[in-house]
Amino acid sequence: MSTTADPAVIAGLDAWRALDVEQQPTWPDSRALSAVSDQLAAAPPLVFAGEADAMREKLALAQRGEAFLLQGGDCAESFAEADADRIRNKIKTILQMSIVLTYGASMPVVKMGRIAGQYAKPRSSDVETRDGVTLPAYRGDIVNGHAFTPESRVPDPQRLMKAYTTSASTLNLTRAFTMGGFADLRRVHEWNRGFTVTPAYRSYEGLAGEIDRAIKFMAAAGADFDALRTVDFYSGHEGLLLDYERPLTRIDSRTGLPYDCSAHFLWIGERTRKIDGAHVEFFSRVSNPIGVKLGPNTTGEDAIALMDKLNPDGVPGRLTFITRMGAGRIREALPSIVEKVTADGRPVLWVCDPMHGNTITASNGYKTRRFADVIDEVRGFFEVHQALGTVPGGVHVELTGDDVTEVLGGSEEIDDVGLEARYETLVDPRLNHAQSLEMAFLVAEMLRERSAG
């Protein structure tokens, strides 16, 4: 990757600075921020332009219904939990889900983690008040600490470098797992080791047995196994903190085009997708595949304006719309948007985020979601696309490979009291390993129904 480029391109990358920049912290020391920005700008890229291009080509397949995107991972990653066991369990869970989807629906799955960069979170308020004490809101480990103390909550630019180094080690481990034999399809049984035995676990073991028999048959027939030994695994996060994303943007030596090298895929959140805002402006300038979250109040005109800004030429695989409507709204809110976009003719990948529109508060005060609502939103997403003859291209899920108790229901029948057993998230509730697998089986069934229809 080159750091030299046409001065006009560089100027364009900084045009966002003159616009309204929402959901950013107030850094107390501008000189410290500038010094860290210089460090990030000089650091090696976390991903490469060619990898982002390869992902864009696979997303183009998903747009046409020839593949399916599975993105999963933490609501907000934390520095303290970026250890080998948790990363491995998260990757194992996504690999298991992809196996269920691939085998159950006879369709290639594009695998992407909410990983190695999901450290910043939008907040509804700049401050938080407890017992009469008001402090800056927790905006993710990349900005400040979760502990409710004045020292912890001060935004610290050094955390930007910590996010970079933690992301680098997470990506190194992810590449080792997915390219070094761990992801070999002949080890599908081993991916269940260490997980609690549940009905979803047993269903997966049955599927793994079928895969084993199929592989033995192929081996007896002389099939080549090179394609089964490794998987392509991509990273993605919300491109929220522009003081992190801009310094990590590089100019591709092959093409002279800018790429945000903090991740393969970046998305713009529901709170920051204003057409004349800084986030849409900045991400219109980089060449990565880009996503945008669309809530229930989105109009078809909003979607077209985003297409005009982010993908005016209709490049396949460039733009993904990630809908987060809520189970009770998706069937009424989504159709008019899809119809408007479809009539435009430029390609868009439609992906369902069934998590963020279904957040509730349990009777004992825990922020949670109902598994039944999560699945109902995905089902509604498929129903809308089935009715309109368009392609439901993927799911975007907050999950963990750990046996947490943060989402109600599922085959484990977690109730309000059960949430207290292992509620570990710092921000939003995540599906645990068993619920993630259960979802994969249900989505595979929806994909089969779509193919049959």
Instruction: Report pLDDT for 4.
Output: 58
Instruction: Report pLDDT for 154.
Output: 97
Residue 234 — pLDDT band, cuts 50, 70, 90?
very high
Residue 191 — pLDDT band, cuts 50, 70, 90?
confident
What is the average pLDDT across 219-224?
81
pLDDT tens readout for residues 331-364: 999 999 999 999 999 999 999 999 999 999 999 9
pTM of the model: 0.96
The reply to whether 81 sits in an annotated binding site is no
Residue 221: count of CB within 10 angstroms of its CB: 7
The reply to whether 398 sits in an annotated binding site is yes
The reply to whether 428 sits in an annotated binding site is yes
The reply to whether 151 sits in an annotated binding site is no
Q: Name the percent of the chain lying above pLDDT 70.
A: 98
What Rg, from alpha-carbon coordinates, does the chain have?
Answer: 21
Max CA-CA distance within the chain? Answer: 72
What is the average pLDDT across 212-235?
84
DSSP H or E segment with residue 168: helix 158-179
Burial of 313 (0-12, 13-18, 19+ CB in 10 A): exposed
Residue 2 — pLDDT band, cuts 50, 70, 90?
very low
Residue 1 scores a pLDDT above 70 = no
Residue 3 — pLDDT band, cuts 50, 70, 90?
very low
What is the average pLDDT across 416-420?
96
pLDDT tens readout for residues 110-161: 999 999 999 999 999 999 999 999 999 999 999 999 999 999 999 999 999 9
Q: Residue 401 half-sphere exposure, CB side, CA atoms within 13 Å? A: 25
Instruction: Report pLDDT for 381.
Output: 98
Instruction: Report pLDDT for 407.
Output: 98
The reply to whether 114 sits in an annotated binding site is yes
Instruction: Report pLDDT for 152.
Output: 98
**399 vs 370: CA distance, rounded Å:** 14
Residue 448 scores a pLDDT above 80 = yes
**∠ CA 292-295-296, rounded to 5°:** 145
